[in-house]
Structure 1
């Protein structure tokens, strides 16, 4: 695994906790994983922006905690037109859990991304997931084996990057779904220009997501025009009415 040097203290704390978190007790197999690219295609065919709406109780970059039931929040997001959902399973810093993930996945019929800081193969076995997030910056040479391990279990894989070098590493590791995070994990600053600068390095054959910092209809259109096949939106949907907010982004 790559060194976690040059990350914000809040991120370092998340990584330290992730290294200590155990995995599942037995290997999982997902026989019915829902496809994220297929969900995006269906949304676009229906005239909707492909939005991955995030069930995020809290985070180091937001204030307060959303106490709403994750299942009810998820259902409202799907009713608002979300093509897919993202559910945090990181417990210490984001208030997530694998139990929340299981409940949400059972309650909806769209793909559900497991969003966490996964560092070891055994952590993939904590829950059966449609799609898992793997962060190129933190996995380094372990990225390709982790992608393979997830696929062997039947899971889709979203590889998160922040730079052209990380895109190259992700492609070399076999990534087919790539998310460009507009948030710099070293400074915790968000710049939508990151997506615009890095997106040209992503092969056209890949499914491309814009992540973080999207908070308006204009920004949705900006990311789509820059090449985003889908948009991962968390705080801007959770802050207020999740159905209405999701609909606003979906129909931007």
Structure 2
């Protein structure tokens, strides 16, 4: 099942449609053993998911990161998982970065614009423990991708930005929900988004894992997430730092 992408607006739609046009299934290597993403995030406290991010549509060029060295530094700093951007054009990523990052022994999240079932198999073959599923991209196809991911042994971080998207994620049976402070259509960040939608999810009885995403730079900004969220995904502020290990440690 391929999602209907003509309805997806802005930069998000542009990137998603390009990704779909590039999908060419090919023979994959055997799936490797991978640590559990969900278990790492659910181990207590507010877990840090540190991201390997070289550039973005909102920031332009960020940093020339070596995936292996960055992942090892993140682990030394106390990160519990590593998010690896594999979209090549807007974010400067590649699939091989997941293979390199596995040297740290942490769960790997494939952060990309998943728009075809083959991309799930690809993620698993290259060592991902989890994949990002964006509700704004997948729409009604979300349940299919969620089930397919689980069938491959992948955890799914189901990303929402609005209350309507949160309802879709809950109805689909997501067990890990990420709330993105960034509107992926306009690229604007509002740090009130995650706390607001996180509380709504808990009020609705959601007992799964909650991850706050985008815009976090300081430990003080994370205080309001505790008690509601299980993890926070931090990318740009870490990648821009000159001390990856120290930057993660400062957030823990």
Q: TM-score, normalization: structure 2?
A: 0.90
Superposition pairs of residues 96-245 of structure 1, within 5 angstroms? 96-105=93-102, 107-128=103-124, 129-202=128-201, 203-225=205-227, 227-240=228-241, 241-245=243-247
* Number of residue pairs aligned between Structure 1 and Structure 2: 243
Partner of 1:248: 250
Compute the displacement of 1:204 (Å).
3.4
Compute the displacement of 1:195 (Å).
1.1
- How far apart, in 2, do the equivalents of 1:182 and 1:157 lie? 19
- How far apart, in 1, do the equivalents of 2:71 and 2:112 lie? 18
Compute the displacement of 1:6 (Å).
6.2
Query: Once superposed, what is the RMSD of the aligned Cα atoms?
Result: 1.9
Q: Unpaired runs of 5+ in structure 1? A: none
1:67 correspondence with 2:64: yes
Change beyond 3 A, Cα 1:194–1:62: same
Compute the displacement of 1:65 (Å).
4.0
- How far apart, in 2, do the equivalents of 1:209 and 1:171 lie? 14
Q: TM-score, normalization: structure 1?
A: 0.90
- How far apart, in 2, do the equivalents of 1:175 and 1:103 lie? 29
Matched residue SS, 2:217: coil
Partner of 1:90: 87
Compute the displacement of 1:218 (Å).
0.9
- Residue deviations 1:195-237, cap 9 Å, x none? 1221123243110000001111111112225x11100000011
Compute the displacement of 1:138 (Å).
0.8
Change beyond 3 A, Cα 1:23–1:136: farther
Change beyond 3 A, Cα 1:22–1:235: same
- How far apart, in 2, do the equivalents of 1:29 and 1:23 lie? 18
- Given that 1:30 and 1:155 are in contact with CA atoms closer than 8 Å, whether structure 2 keeps it comes out as no
Compute the displacement of 1:43 (Å).
5.4
